[in-house]
Structure 1
Amino acid sequence: MTDTLVSRDLDDLLVRVACGDEAAFERLYDRVSGPVFGLVMRVVRDRAQAEEVAQEVLVEVWRSAARFDGARGSALSWVLTMAHRRAVDRVRSSQASGERDYRVGVRSVEIAHDQVVEEVAVRLDGERVRRCLGGLSEVQREAVTLAYYGGYSYPEVAGLLRVPLGTVKTRMRDGLVRLRDCMGVER
């Protein structure tokens, strides 16, 4: 099955979910829960919070499926965008809570200079990676996202996308080369 057919299948499932079809939601859940959790885990970096956020996202998919517009993008992109936003919101909320605690004197430990420098570097790298991901073709971005954000192996990515393993390897290689060049990483 081609990428377009896989995308259309997810789009069709999401349209059926919008009509209240529970069986369609089960199938959609099975197909997107792994990538959603992987993406959230990369952003939140705490398994318990990542599980909670991923669950919130999937509940939100059920509740807001009617807002999906296939003309604006694929179902997987819509769901992963929702997951990314929720994960970022959770990180910001945690940071704001920490800052409030600090201001009222609850936190007494200062963050070491090296930790601050490392945190800033990680954030800047993350922003650069997101920008560079936007420069990949849709099929490269989908394969890279499933493998790195979704945590899937190459054979699992091939199964999800319903393409041969060699095709996935080619897309990954080409996508990673383009990412490396975009980010200015030396070989």
Structure 2
Amino acid sequence: MPPDHPGTDRTRDHPRDGGLSVVGRDASAAPTPAELLGRVALGDEDAFSRLYDETSSLLFTLVRRVVRDVAMSEEVLQEVFVEIWKQATRFDPRRGSAHGWMCTIAHRRAVDTVRASDASRRRDSDEGLRSIAEKVVDVQEEGIMRVESHRVATAMRSLTPVQADAIRLAYFGGYSHREVASLLGIPVGTAKTRIRDGMIVLRDRLGVTA
């Protein structure tokens, strides 16, 4: 559905044609995406709803190929249509197709989202590495003493993916064993085992004695 825009009039009985010529076309034919965009530029919410229905599947597929995550892709798709609503006046059919114009917006928004997400993960990882380097990390009475963060990062690559996920959540994310289990969808005992086994590997790689 179109975003809320106070003062926007619905034109159900007398829809605006956005100044687009229909000469040479059957007046009863369904409007093209370009014609719908022209009406959207004039604030026609009905045209926007129709444009969403006709193009959302295409744009979602494009976004998901870049973003991968389904829930995040759905959020990006909504942002894409908000931008389409706001920027519709900039669409020029002489410079390209409506689908091409919308796909460009979708791809740019998807790439920006991935870049922002990657940057956020890098910040979180850096903070976690600094944290583990600055204090004693204790798991069931076993810990790793102060070590240089780049050594920890190297040692983390020795872990299995499931061990690394559990340790990142427990120490870089600050979650309890129970919270780690809930986030990963595993029993608490399994979460504890993954963390314990991973810490044993880290201690071995870093040469830290218990």
Tell me the amino acid that sits aligned with residue 73 of structure 1. Answer: G
Aligned to 1:105, the other structure's residue is in SS state helix
Partner Cα separation in structure 1 for residue 59 and residue 118 of structure 2: 22
How far 1:105 moved relative to its partner?
2.1
Structure 1, gaps ≥5 residues long: 116-187
**Could you say which residue in structure 2 is the equivalent of 1:126?**
none
Structure 1 position 88 matched with structure 2 position 111 = yes
Hey, which of these two has a bigger chunk of helix by percent?
Answer: 1
**Could you say which residue in structure 1 is the equivalent of 2:38?**
15
Q: How large is the RMSD of aligned CA atoms in angstroms?
A: 2.5
**Could you say which residue in structure 2 is the equivalent of 1:25?**
48
How far 1:68 moved relative to its partner?
0.8
Structure 1 position 97 matched with structure 2 position 120 = yes
Using structure 2 for the length normalisation, give the TM-score: 0.47
* Identity across matched positions, percent: 55
Superposed counterparts of 1:1-187, under 5 Å: 9-105=32-128, 110=156
Larger relative contact order (CA 8 Å, sep ≥ 6): 1
How far 1:102 moved relative to its partner?
1.8
Asked which structure has the greater CA Rg, the reply is 2
Using structure 1 for the length normalisation, give the TM-score: 0.53
* CA 1:92–1:111: 2 relative to 1, 3 Å: farther
* CA 1:102–1:36: 2 relative to 1, 3 Å: same
Aligned to 1:62, the other structure's residue is in SS state helix
Partner Cα separation in structure 1 for residue 100 and residue 157 of structure 2: 36
Partner Cα separation in structure 2 for residue 23 and residue 94 of structure 1: 34
